Amino acid sequence: MNHRHLLPNEIDLLVDGEAGFGVAPLRAHILECPDCRERLEDARIVVDALEALPHFVPDARLADRVMAQVPVFVPAHVAARDSVRRWLPQSAAARIAALVAAGSGALALTLGMIWVALQGDLFTFATGMLGERVRLAVVGAARDLAVAMLGDAALAALQGLGAMGAALLFLSFLLAAAGTIAGLRRLALAGRRA
């Protein structure tokens, strides 16, 4: 029979709950030796006290303070994927409904474009007629304005000049207007400085 007491590392093996070859004789010795049993018990008291130690709680703002100092880099492909996902509905049912709606809209638009293409002549005629009506309306309004400002005689003289003469006259009018505005502005600035 082995009368030697357990070595400190053998006590540690038992405290750590080690199993395996060589531990059984140690357990058998503990049953027979009060001194070693007491040493083992003392070691277990220490371990139990350690294992009962609580975790301390840090300040609740720790995460915010840490994240304020950590640069978070979002890769471009992740940012793009997130942007698309933000527009997608969250639930599966909503996503299916959105898909059906988008598909229906795309189909309607396609059919509409096909119809327009098939009705090409009608479309061209309609836009041409509309354009002519708009042109006539604009020319009529301009003529009425010119008569109101210049009178019938002046208008007749203007029409005699032809397109080039009318353009020169209009350009002269623009230059006179610009010069008037510049002069008035200079007067205003001079008045402020004074």
Contacting positions for another protein (CB under 8 A) = 8-9, 12, 15, 42-43, 45-47, 49-51, 53-59, 62-63, 65-67, 69-75, 78-79, 82, 85
Cα gap 96→103, rounded to integer Å = 10
Residue matched to tokens 């640069």: 71
- Taking the complex as a whole, how short is the minimal distance between the CB of residue 136 and another protein, in angstroms? 59
- Taking the complex as a whole, how short is the minimal distance between the CB of residue 109 and another protein, in angstroms? 31
- Taking the complex as a whole, how short is the minimal distance between the CB of residue 56 and another protein, in angstroms? 5
Residue 29's Cβ-count burial label (10 Å; 0-12, 13-18, 19+) is buried
The SS3 call for residue 101 is: helix
- Taking the complex as a whole, how short is the minimal distance between the CB of residue 181 and another protein, in angstroms? 56
Q: Which residue, 15 or 26, is less far from another protein as judged by CB?
A: 15
Q: Which residue, 69 or 91, is less far from another protein as judged by CB?
A: 69
Compute CA distances 169 → 39, 136, 145, 172, whole Å. 119, 23, 16, 5
Q: Which residue, 67 or 181, is less far from another protein as judged by CB?
A: 67
Q: Which residue, 59 or 121, is less far from another protein as judged by CB?
A: 59
Contact between 11 and 43 (Cβ < 8 Å): yes
